[in-house]
């Protein structure tokens, strides 16, 4: 059985991906779900995976932790009460220093798109490393030029000009500058609960105190009410939330704005899908106020949401600037800002330069990611596996009152824990306990939201039907043990 292939699933799945009906039947007949009714020790094994990790001979986890405490930033945090050390990855799986395998349901914080150490991506990086590791845009090199064309070929409309940078923070920082340069306006509208990065400029756009240092920030940035269908004040009424943006422009700005920036699905904020009809109305309002619209696709791009290649497309809007990072390079330090030639020209009056942006190695790796996404039909795969996973998680919500909401699209899903479904008091401690139990069963989840009470399920896009079933069965068992 090949580890990577057209669907990266292997024969164990059989006809399970034939449709959502089959997935629903599996959710009702899963033997693992039946045995999990009786709390006890988890005995189910991870889905078969024909790979043996290399022996590890480096320092122990305790020694690494000591080095980290001594030499790395004290602001770093780690998951789990006992930190987990990861030394190898393959496909949708990770391995610790003892060779134990874990199902990766968080993809390095939504960064590993086509699978850990995908052979085509690894080969492209290796081949370029042997040829030329680094040059800059002061010289011509085919990799960055061909990559820019291949990337913009996948963009709608006139989004045909690319700036390559190194991180999502850097991309969003540049998008803010472009909006201000092009419009001649200063004020920007963002959302409460948003996350757009950790530079000084992007920190000001974040709508959560968690990511804000106690320093001056966000000059000219205004935060609109978050269009959260589950917790928001207007439920799923997108037009009501959009009216708040009109009021905000009238009250907090000169009446003219540089732009509006939002994620298509809020990632760090807890996988929040924006209320229906919100973005089209807000884009109209922003443009009437002289601004441009920025789509942050750092987490939702490259087919992860299943229904579309880019998350904004599911909202039926056309942004003026699109930012992307994380999955663009499958773990490489690579990001991009894509805009129209007209907006890009706004910065042509001065030199602009990025030493590492679009370097030959990262460009070669990014091009390989694009090829793999297309060749292995990752968008279609995310739609099919994501629909099955969402159905099974919905059944789990019906069984366990602590699950207040299940949401998302494709392989970008969220499960919110609450102490009471009516008051929606966040169940942060309970989620933390289940989080630890999931690790015991071999599943590594993400968590997020302002209150830290949302499971973020955003695995590598090669995640299979069997992986989805194992995750849900393990989650059911972990909750059933009592909280």
The Cα–Cα gap between 452 and 193 comes to: 12
CB 378 within 8 A of CB 461: yes
Question: Along the 483 residues of the chain, how does pLDDT read in single tens digits?
Answer: 456 654 444 333 333 333 333 343 343 333 333 333 445 789 999 999 999 999 999 999 999 999 999 999 999 989 999 999 999 999 999 999 999 999 999 999 999 999 999 999 999 999 999 999 999 999 999 999 999 999 999 999 999 999 999 999 999 999 999 999 999 999 999 999 999 999 999 999 999 999 999 999 999 999 999 999 999 999 999 999 999 999 999 999 999 999 999 999 999 999 999 999 999 999 999 999 999 999 999 999 999 999 999 999 999 999 999 999 999 999 999 999 999 999 999 999 888 889 999 999 999 999 999 999 999 999 999 999 999 999 999 999 999 999 999 999 999 999 999 999 999 999 999 999 999 999 999 999 999 999 999 999 999 999 999 999 999 999 999 999 988
How, if at all, do strands 265-266 and 272-273 pair? Answer: antiparallel
Beta partners for residue 412, in sequence order: 409
Residue indicated by tokens 């804000």? 212
What is the value of pTM for the model shown?
0.91
Residues 120, 96: Cα–Cα separation, whole Å: 24
Nearest to 135 by CA among 467, 360, 336: 360
Minimal CA–CA distance to 16: which of 384, 463, 304, 408?
384
Distance in angstroms (rounded) separating the CA atoms of residues 302 and 298: 9
């Amino acid at each position: 059985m090949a580890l990577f292939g057209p669907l990266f699933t292997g024969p164990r799945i059989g006809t399970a991906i034939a449709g959502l009906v089959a997935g629903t039947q599996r959710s009702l007949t899963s033997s693992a779900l039946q045995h999990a009714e009786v709390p006890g020790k988890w005995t189910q094994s991870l889905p078969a995976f024909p790979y043996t990790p290399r022996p590890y001979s480096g320092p122990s986890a305790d020694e690494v932790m000591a080095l980290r405490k001594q030499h790395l930033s004290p602001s770093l945090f780690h998951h789990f009460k006992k930190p987990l050390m990861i030394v190898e990855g393959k496909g949708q799986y990770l391995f610790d220093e003892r060779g134990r395998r874990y199902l990766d349901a968080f993809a390095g914080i939504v960064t590993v798109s086509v699978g850990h150490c995908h052979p085509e991506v690894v080969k492209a990086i290796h081949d370029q490393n042997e040829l030329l590791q680094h040059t800059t845009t002061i010289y011509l090199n085919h990799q960055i030029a061909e990559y820019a064309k291949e990337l913009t070929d996948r963009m709608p409309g006139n989004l045909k000009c690319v700036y390559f940078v190194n991180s999502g923070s850097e991309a969003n920082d540049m998008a803010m500058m472009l909006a201000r340069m092009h419009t001649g306006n200063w004020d920007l509208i963002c959302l409460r609960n948003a996350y757009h990065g950790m530079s000084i400029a992007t920190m000001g756009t974040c709508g959560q105190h968690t990511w804000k240092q106690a320093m001056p920030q966000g000059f000219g940035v205004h935060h609109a009410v978050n269009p959260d269908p589950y917790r928001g004040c207007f439920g799923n009424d997108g037009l009501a939330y959009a009216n708040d943006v009109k009021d905000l422009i009238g009250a907090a700005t000169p009446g003219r704005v540089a732009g509006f920036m939002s994620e298509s699905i809020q990632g760090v904020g807890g996988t929040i899908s924006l209320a229906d009809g919100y973005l089209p109305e807000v884009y109209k309002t922003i443009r009437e106020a002289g601004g441009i619209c920025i789509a942050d696709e750092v987490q939702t791009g490259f087919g992860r949401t299943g229904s579309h290649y880019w998350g904004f497309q599911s909202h039926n809007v056309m942004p003026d600037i699109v930012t992307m990072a994380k999955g663009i390079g499958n773990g490489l330090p690579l990001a991009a800002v894509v805009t129209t030639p007209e907006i890009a020209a706004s910065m042509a009056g001065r030199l602009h330069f990025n030493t590492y942006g679009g370097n030959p190695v990262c460009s070669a790796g990014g091009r390989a990611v694009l090829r793999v996404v297309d060749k292995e039909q990752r968008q279609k795969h995310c739609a099919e596996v994501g629909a099955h996973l969402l159905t099974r998680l919905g059944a789990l919500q019906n069984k366990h009152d602590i699950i207040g909401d299940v949401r998302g699209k494709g392989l970008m899903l969220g499960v919110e824990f609450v102490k009471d479904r009516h008051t929606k008091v966040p169940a942060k401690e309970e989620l933390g306990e289940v989080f630890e139990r999931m690790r015991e069963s071999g599943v590594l989840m993400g968590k997020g939201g302002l209150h830290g009470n949302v499971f973020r399920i955003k695995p590598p896009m090669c995640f299979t039907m069997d992986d989805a079933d194992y995750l849900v069965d393990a989650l059911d068992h972990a909750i059933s043990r009592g909280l």
